[in-house]
Amino acid sequence: MNNYIQSNTHLIRLFNVLLISILVLPFIGLQHSATLLVVLLVVFFLKDYLKVFFSSLALSFSGYSFSRYKKAILVVSSVIILIIPIMPYSQYATDVITLCLIYVILACGLNVIVGMTGLLHLGYAAFYAIGAYSYALLSINTGIPFLATAVLSIVITSFIGLMTAFPALRLKGDYLAIVTLGFGEILRVILNNWQSLTNGPNGLSGIPAPHVFVDFTDARMMFYLTAVVCFVSVFIILRVERSKIGRAWRCIKEDETVALAMGIDVVRYKLISFVFGSFWAGLAGVLYASKMGFVSPDSFTFLESILILCMVIVGGLGNTYGAIIGAFILICIPEILRDIQTFRMLIVGLVLVLLVIFLPKGIVGSIKDVNHTNSKS
Amino acid sequence: MFIQQIINGLTLGSVYSLIALGYTMVYGILEFINFAHGEIYMIGAYLGIIFLTFFTAVGLTTSNIYLSLFLTMILTIAFCCAYGYLIERVGYRPLRYAPRLSPLISAIGISIFLQNFVMFTQGATDKVIRVEALDGFVSVWGINLSYLQVAILTVSFVVMIGLNLFVNKTKIGTAMRATAQDKIMASLVGIDINMIISLVFVVGAGLASVAGVMVAGYYGLVNYHIGYIAGLKAFTAAVLGGIGSIQGAMIGGLILGIVETLGSAYVSSDYKDVYAFLILIVVLLIKPTGLLGQRIEDKI
Amino acid sequence: MSIIRTVNLEKNFGGLKALSNLNLSINKGSITSIIGPNGAGKTTLFNCITGFNKPNGGDIFLGNLKITGQPPHLIARSGIARTFQNIRLLSDMTVLQNIMVSRHINLKYGFFDCIFRNKHFFLQEDISTQKAMKFLDFMGISEYCHHLATSLPYGIQKRVEIARALSLEPEVILLDEPSAGMIHAETMSLMSQIQKIRDIGKTVVLIEHDMNLVMSISDWVIVLNYGVMIAEGTPNEIKNNRQVIETYLGFAHEHLA
């Protein structure tokens, strides 16, 4: 009986492989789909060997105890990142890393909402956009100094976060996701169509660079400013995470009923989470606008929200370090793949699927698991 | 003029309904938003054009246009059903017992993959098709109905009635409803859960592909990103009608189509993508379960 | 002196009367057991007292405070803690972290204290950790404090839940079937622990099906059937109450005999 079921699933898998190559036939033509079929069949028949290969790879990987070297890894990688801009011919790298750091803030901020509190937020890019546009409009149209403009933009973002959270948090789970998504779409359409204020799809240009004592016009200066802001942000988020507030969030994420029974004001803590998360989006928006000197609705689409969400998930939901790693991976991989431009989103999509299936707890979460089993045995 | 707009709205709405049915059925059974569903619709539209072009190239269209259209439809539906099956099999089944967010992320990954796969293989520009035989229109009481509008309305109507009968009257439909209510219980009475879930994906994909082919003919052009926005709106329609409810998805789709058409005709067409979401947010705030959805009390 | 009192408490689910016209009072510092057949409304009563279900009529008092229809977190703050019928520990956290979650209301510091980590913050956290350890010790499970909560054996998990409820420092603690699924030896040690909880001055209310446990530790027993209180009294009175025996006949008369 058992044997029968086994062979049956094997056949079904073979059938699926054939199906894939038939399904892509209308799109890529006979020749390519035949090639694909051959490749898939080879993989299919060698998959047992591949499994052995990968598990032995994972085994050798798990020999290291990462938590022991956590501090060392953190310090070394920070130092490397910090000296890159001083190196010669590093202009491009500096730009990419500055962008990475902005996304680190975004990923950590979204991680507060999705990872820690368990509120699925699909419109995070909207708040990023509000931060960026507020800064752009205020700095172009008024003469307020940089710091005041920045603070004001972040306050506006957080306030709009609060205003959307009030009605949205009455909803549960997927409904919340869809309302935040709807909010993001509405905002994007408004940015595209409110010509007089936002200049529509052409965006706003000529946004002044930050000015604190000196002008941060140089890319290198901008990088160090971003690095400092990013460091402080992560620091603050980690501290809030490791307090009664973070614990309350985690409890709400896992079991709202228990949270209520423990005297946690669930609605209030969800609000705090939402506003706290929006705050970082606003901050990242300000940094982005002032670095680029230009904002347009194209930078804040639904795909952007999803990209930030993916950073959080790739690293490991609810783990701030994971969000940091996720941000670096998801910004750097497409940059590395820039030469095969048309391919790259294809690969990003595929990697996402493979990651959730094979590394369900994200990168950091999986490393933690390995360490846990090691220390037990 | 107003009636004309209503008819246009109904046409658009029935397309949304067809897509929304896929969302609502999957949600009813697995409680998860199948983000890749909109891409099935897009693939359906592309396949329709690819097959029709192929049949035209081999000369079938000139000799027998109806056979050619019929074959295009059948082949597209078959292919899309297979896509639906495969997506579930590869992307979602391994994550059946994973945390709630995982299949959602997988779905987003598949969605990105499919979009870019189509863009990569078919190009980023609009793909245009023109079927001259379908260009005419009928006039009833001064209202112009193009042949394709008639076709869309009739086909959607028939398909939806058929689906309702299928779900409510057949043995497999009963099994589907049982699975939606309680998967463990259903499997205990001998229902093959995996088969039912696959079936739901297949049926949903089939409906979306019907919508895709018809829209490709209706607008005469497709693009690799039409699936995303149509998917979002169809999902909105499903939530509007009460997600998990089949009738709800149909009604929600129609309402959405009419509101969008009227909105862009009488208010502003710049904001046509906003109306759907505004309605959604208002409905969710007033009646979070949607028009036909039922409230489920949490068990403590 | 009564600490929890219900006055004409009513709760309906659709047409079903889960609780009807319930007047009961629970004495401060006692162990009160609520027994009754399945579907008698015991858990519904707990849910009404803790605010998870809103009563359709009547009132609930905690001491002199009216708590009818208050949201659950406010009721928890005013001094009623509970456990759940099926274990609801937070799976990704260690035992100690689980307990620290319920220290929430006793941790008095604000948002900016978290960020600046001042003296006040550390003082509060230290006190709370010590208290949490104290409660784990009290339940005899402090050795497990760094284990993942859900990796522990069932009986231990039940005790973690009780420790979690205790660490809210409530006046009243409601235990929903604490001995369900336990073996005899575990039940015995649970009994002594429940008595210990009473001895430190807490009021314990429990829903139980284990008549041995109920009869040996309760100060007062309340019997519900179809949402109506059919009897109350000391364990001895209940044992000899005709109506109770009739209700239980065929279910558990061997325990009562």
Q: What is the pLDDT of residue B253?
A: 92
- Token pair belonging to A25: 């036939």
Domain that holds residue B232: 2-286
CATH number of domain containing B237: 1.10.3470
Residues for chain B: how many in total?
300
- Beta strand segments in chain A, E: 204-205, 211-212, 214-215, 294-295
Taking the Cβ of residue C61 and every Cβ of chain B, the question of whether any pair is shorter than 8 Å is answered with: no
- Helix H segments across chain C? 42-49, 72-77, 95-102, 111-116, 119-138, 154-166, 184-199, 211-217, 235-239, 242-248, 253-256
Domain presence at residue B300: no
Question: Any CB–CB contact under 8 A between B113 and chain A?
Answer: yes
In chain A, residues with a C-beta closer than 8 Å to the C-beta of B236 are 178, 182
Residue B298 lies in a domain: no
pLDDT surpasses 50 at C253: no
- Domains within chain C, CATH numbers bracketed: 1-79+171-257 (3.40.50.300), 87-169 (3.40.50.300)
CA distance C212 to C99: 30
Q: Does B300 touch chain C (CB under 8 A)?
A: yes
- Residues C47 and A195: their CA atoms lie apart, in Å, by 55
Give me the pLDDT at residue A374, please: 46
Residues of C in contact with B300 (CB under 8 A): 43, 47, 52, 84
> Is C168 in Cβ contact with A262 (below 8 Å)?
yes
* Min Cα–Cα distance to chain A from C140, Å: 21
| Residues A39-61, mean pLDDT to the nearest whole number | 75
Instruction: Look at the block and give the residue holding tokens 């957080």.
Output: A158
**What secondary structure letter does DSSP report for C148?**
B
In a domain, residue B293? The reply is no
pLDDT confidence of residue B33:
83
In chain B, what is the straight-line distance between the N-terminal and C-terminal CA atoms, in Å? 55
Q: What is the average per-residue pLDDT within A186-211?
A: 86
Residue pair C124/C108 in contact (Cβ under 8 Å)? The answer is yes
Among A241-245, B136-140, B245-249, which stretch is predicted with the lowest mean pLDDT? B136-140
Residue C16, classed as helix, strand or coil, is strand
Q: What is the signed CA dihedral for A108, A111, A112, A118, rounded to 10 degrees?
A: 180
How many CB pairs (< 8 A) connect A and B? 144
d(CA A183, CA A180): 5
Residue A161 structure tokens: 């976060």
Q: What's the full length of chain C, in residues? A: 257
The helix (H) or strand (E) run that includes residue B109 is helix B101-122
Local confidence band at A375 (pLDDT 50, 70, 90 cut-offs): very low
ipTM of the complex: 0.89
The reply to whether C112 touches chain A by the CB within 8 Å rule is no
C139-159: b or e for each residue (b if 16 or more CB lie within 10 Å)? bebbebbeebbeebeebbbbb
Return the pLDDT at C202: 92
Count of domains for chain B: 1
A188-194 long-range contacts, CB within 8 A, separation 24+ = A188/A126, A188/A129, A188/A297, A188/A300, A188/A301, A188/A302, A189/B270, A189/B271, A189/B273, A189/B274, A190/B274, A191/A129, A191/A133, A191/A297, A191/A300, A192/A297, A192/B270, A193/B270, A193/B271
Closest partner CB to A182 (pick from B91, B277, B288)? B277
Mean pLDDT, chain C, whole residue set: 88
- Do C81 and A247 count as a contact with CB atoms less than 8 A apart? no
Q: Considering only CB atoms, which chain A residues are within 8 Å of B85? A: 19
Is the pLDDT at C110 greater than 80? The verdict is yes
B293 or B214, higher pLDDT: B214
Pairwise CA distance, residues B160 & C198, whole Å: 64
CA atoms within 13 A on the CB side of A130: 26
What pairs with residue C9 in β-bridges? C22
Q: How far off is chain C from A254, nearest CA to CA, in Å?
A: 6
Q: Beta B137-140 vs B143-146: how paired, if at all?
A: antiparallel
pLDDT confidence bin for A283, thresholds 50/70/90? very high
DSSP state of A210: P
Q: What percent of chain C has pLDDT over 70?
A: 96
What is the rounded distance in angstroms from the CA atom of residue A11 to the CA atom of residue C158?
46
pLDDT at C252 over 70: no
Establish if B8 belongs to a structural domain: yes
The closest of A61, A363, A93 to A219, measured between CA atoms, is A93
| Closest alpha carbon within chain B to A179 | B281
Q: Has residue B295 got a pLDDT over 60?
A: no
Looking up tokens 């209301």 gives: C105
Q: Name the residue with tokens 């501090």.
A: A71
Segment C187-230, tens digit of pLDDT: 999 999 999 999 999 999 999 888 888 889 999 999 998 888 88
A321-372 confidence digits (pLDDT tens): 889 988 988 888 777 777 666 677 788 788 888 888 887 777 777 666 555 5
Nearest to C104 among A240, A247, A257 (CB): A247
| B208 pLDDT more than 90 | yes
Burial of A18 (0-12, 13-18, 19+ CB in 10 A): middle
Dihedral, CA atoms, B137, B139, B145, B146, nearest 10 degrees?
0
Q: For residue B101, with 0-12 CB atoms within 10 Å meaning exposed, 13-18 middle and 19 or more buried, which class applies? A: buried
Please name each of the domains of chain A with its CATH number.
Answer: 2-45 (no CATH), 100-376 (1.10.3470)
> Stretch A274-294: mean pLDDT, rounded?
93
Question: CA A332 to CA A3: how far, in whole Å?
Answer: 46
Cβ-based neighbours of B296, under 8 Å, separated by 6 or more: none
Taking 3-state DSSP, the helix, strand and coil percentages for chain C, each rounded to the nearest 5, stand at 40, 25, 35
Mean of all residue pLDDT scores within chain A: 83
Is position B117 within any domain? Answer: yes
Q: What is the CA radius of gyration of chain A?
A: 23
Q: Best mutation site among A28, A166, A312, A352 for testing chain B: the one with the most B CBs within 10 Å? A: A352
Interface probe with C: pick from B295, B298, B300, most Cβ of C within 10 Å: B300
Interval B118-130: pLDDT, tens: 888 888 788 877 7
Is residue C153 within 8 angstroms of chain A, CB to CB?
A: no
Domain assignment present for residue B186? The answer is yes
Q: What values do phi and psi take at A165, rounded to 5? A: -65, -35
User: Could you say which of C82, C90, C103 has the minimum Cβ distance to residue A254?
Assistant: C90
Measured in angstroms, the CA of B88 and the nearest CA of chain C are apart by 29
Residue A1 confidence class, pLDDT cut points 50, 70, 90? very low
The pLDDT of C159-172, averaged and rounded, is 92
Chain B residue numbers with beta carbons less than 8 Å from the beta carbon of A26 are: 47, 50-51, 54, 79
Contacts of C43 in chain B (CB under 8 A): 300
A160 has a pLDDT exceeding 70: yes
In the Cβ-directed half-sphere of A183, how many Cα atoms lie within 13 Å?
Answer: 25
**Within 10 A of B220 (CB to CB), how many other CB atoms are there?**
17
Q: Helix, strand, coil shares of chain B as percentages rounded to 5?
A: 75, 5, 20
Percentage with pLDDT > 70 across chain A:
89
CA-CA distance, C188 to C40, in Å (whole number)? Answer: 26
Q: Are B44 and B233 in contact (CB under 8 A)?
A: no
B120 touches chain A (CB under 8 A): yes
User: Helices A219-241 and A266-292 sit at what angle, rounded to 10 degrees?
Assistant: 170
